[in-house]
């Protein structure tokens, strides 16, 4: 079985393990599949899906077997991750997530052994993401607004605020600070996510990308390109800071592989792009994670470099300030922490020592390389039992 994202429909194939023959079982129009599994009693497949234009809103569906008919099991404002179904296929345990609630920690650039360092008091209670401006101030997203503060959480300057709930990613500076670019989820009620541009004071909003998905933009210190993620594509994309037609990043395609999830990153000199991919490894029966490093200066004239990473990786990596290593989060003994992996083949080592079960996704070094900022977030989750009301059993 395989689900293939990157097109207007997700295609599920069945593989005959004895003959190796594949056949298309179903195509789900305008849907992206995160996971699927057999439902109980051979009724078909449970599918964790989102609409192409609503990729942050995961629901559960059932794809019947053998006819391949699809129907929604859930259709509400919650986001679901299914666990398992009963043996008769009439009930389903699933996780409902709310949140997350995040706290920001500013640490020495080399990390810390302190298991409980103090967090930064911020003017945002529900912190979603952060980034660094060119002058070392903080750019924050949460509570339905984008703001700029100093590293003590003071001197708040509002950049963007909208009526109701605004879901956006903290902006990043582009073109030597001339612009800020950011990800904005359906600002006018449309179910899509796109990359936007604004002036450093929050004025002159311009939408750069169109379509169902445009996420996690990054920019080199200088240059015309904005690099970003389109979760429906197998590799990162780029678009001119002044607008125009989006295109795949030259030299970023991995044969037999596809973009996994999460953000992309640039090296401090802006010459290399980093993302996480799932690739088919020779001799392996399943896809494995690899960090993909793209030489942007080659402009597509050479293929990407694949770097082995710990398969427990929880979010895509970032370059260290000197560009000689990558860092990412893994969980060891129940505690998610950041680990540094040199690119010269030396062993990786832990650089934070948090003891809690809060996870780390968002982390960035300051422009001068002296401070490591990281958000520790925790979801509130409930397990719910969904029962087929049409069943007489």
Per-residue tokens: 109 = 């650039």
Q: Residue 187's pLDDT band (boundaries 50, 70, 90)?
A: low
| Domain locations along the chain | 2-89, 180-301
Dump pLDDT digits (tens) for 56-73: 678 888 888 888 888 888
| pLDDT above 50 (res 7) | no
pLDDT for 220 beyond 90: yes
Query: What pLDDT score does 334 carry?
Result: 85
Q: Tell me the pLDDT band of 81, cut-offs 50, 70 and 90.
A: confident
CB atoms within 10 A of CB 251: 18
Which residues, including other chains, have CB under 8 Å from residue 378's CB and lie 6 or more apart? 99, 100, 101, 102, 356, 357, 358, 359
Confidence of residue 163 (pLDDT cuts 50, 70, 90): low
In the structure, what pLDDT confidence band is assigned to residue 321 with cuts at 50, 70 and 90? very high
pLDDT surpassing 50 at residue 6:
no
Mean pLDDT is highest, among 33-42, 156-165, 249-258, for 249-258
* Structural contact between residues 1 and 10, judged by C-beta atoms closer than 8 angstroms: no
Whether the predicted pLDDT of 191 surpasses 90: no
* Residue 154 pLDDT class (50, 70, 90 cuts): very high
Supply the pLDDT for residue 286.
Answer: 80
pLDDT, residue 94, reads 67
Does position 76 have pLDDT exceeding 70, yes or no?
A: yes
Residue 5 has a pLDDT of 40
As assigned by CATH, the class of the 180-301 domain is mainly beta
Q: What angle do CA 324, 138, 136 make, to 5 degrees?
A: 55
pLDDT tens digits for range 276-318:
999 988 877 788 999 999 999 999 999 999 999 999 999 999 9
pLDDT of 326 > 90? The answer is yes
| Spatial separation of the C-alpha atoms in residues 95 and 113, rounded to whole Å | 33
Rounded alpha-carbon distances, angstroms, from residue 352 to 104, 116, 328, 365: 14, 10, 11, 14
Give the chain's mean pLDDT.
85
pLDDT digits (tens, 9 = 90+) for 330-346: 999 888 999 999 999 99
- 26 and 62 in contact (C-beta within 8 Å)? no
Say if residue 366's pLDDT is above 60.
yes
Mean per-residue pLDDT, 6-35: 73
Q: Give the pTM.
A: 0.76
Q: Is the pLDDT of residue 379 over 90?
A: no
Return the top range by mean pLDDT from 90-94, 161-165, 265-269.
Answer: 265-269
- Is the pLDDT at 20 greater than 60, yes or no? yes
Quote the Cα angle for 148-150-154, to 5°: 90
**For the chain, what is the radius of gyration of the CA atoms?**
22
- Banded pLDDT at 1 (limits 50, 70, 90): very low
Specify whether the CB–CB gap between 195 and 181 falls below 8 A.
Answer: yes
């Amino acid at each position: 079985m395989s689900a293939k994202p990157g097109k207007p429909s997700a295609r599920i194939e069945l593989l005959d393990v004895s003959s190796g023959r594949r056949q298309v079982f179903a195509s789900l129009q305008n849907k992206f599949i995160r996971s699927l599994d057999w439902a109980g009693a051979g009724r078909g497949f449970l599918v964790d899906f989102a609409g192409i234009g609503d990729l942050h809103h995961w629901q559960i569906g059932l794809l019947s077997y053998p006819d391949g008919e699809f129907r929604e099991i859930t259709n509400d404002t919650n986001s679901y991750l299914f666990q398992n179904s009963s043996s008769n296929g009439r009930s389903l345990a699933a996780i409902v997530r709310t949140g997350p609630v995040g706290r920001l920690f500013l640490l020495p650039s080399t990390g810390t052994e302190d298991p409980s360092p103090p967090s930064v008091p911020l003017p945002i209670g529900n912190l979603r993401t952060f980034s660094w401006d060119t002058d070392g101030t903080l750019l924050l997203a949460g509570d339905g607004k984008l703001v700029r503060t100093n590293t003590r959480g003071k001197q708040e300057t509002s950049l963007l605020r909208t009526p109701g709930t605004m879901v956006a990613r903290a902006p990043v500076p582009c073109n030597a600070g001339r612009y800020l670019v950011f990800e904005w989820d359906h600002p006018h009620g449309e179910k899509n996510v796109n990359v936007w541009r604004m002036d450093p004071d929050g004025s002159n909003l311009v939408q750069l990308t169109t379509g169902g998905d445009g996420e996690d933009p990054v920019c080199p210190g200088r240059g015309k390109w904005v690099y970003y993620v389109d979760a429906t594509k197998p590799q990162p994309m780029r678009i001119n800071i002044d607008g125009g037609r989006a295109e795949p990043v030259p030299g970023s395609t991995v044969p037999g592989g596809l973009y996994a999830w999460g953000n992309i990153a640039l090296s401090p000199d802006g010459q290399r792009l980093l993302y996480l991919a799932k690739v088919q490894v020779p001799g392996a029966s399943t896809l494995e994670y690899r960090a993909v490093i793209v030489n942007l200066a080659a402009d597509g004239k050479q293929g990407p470099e694949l770097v082995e990473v710990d398969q427990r990786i929880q979010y895509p990596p970032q370059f260290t300030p000197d560009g000689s290593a990558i860092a990412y989060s893994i969980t060891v003994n129940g505690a998610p922490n950041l680990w540094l992996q040199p690119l010269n083949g030396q062993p990786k080592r832990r650089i934070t020592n948090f003891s809690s079960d809060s996870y780390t996704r968002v982390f960035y070094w300051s422009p001068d390389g002296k401070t490591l900022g990281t958000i520790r977030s925790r979801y509130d989750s409930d397990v719910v039992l969904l029962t087929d009301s049409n069943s007489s059993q």
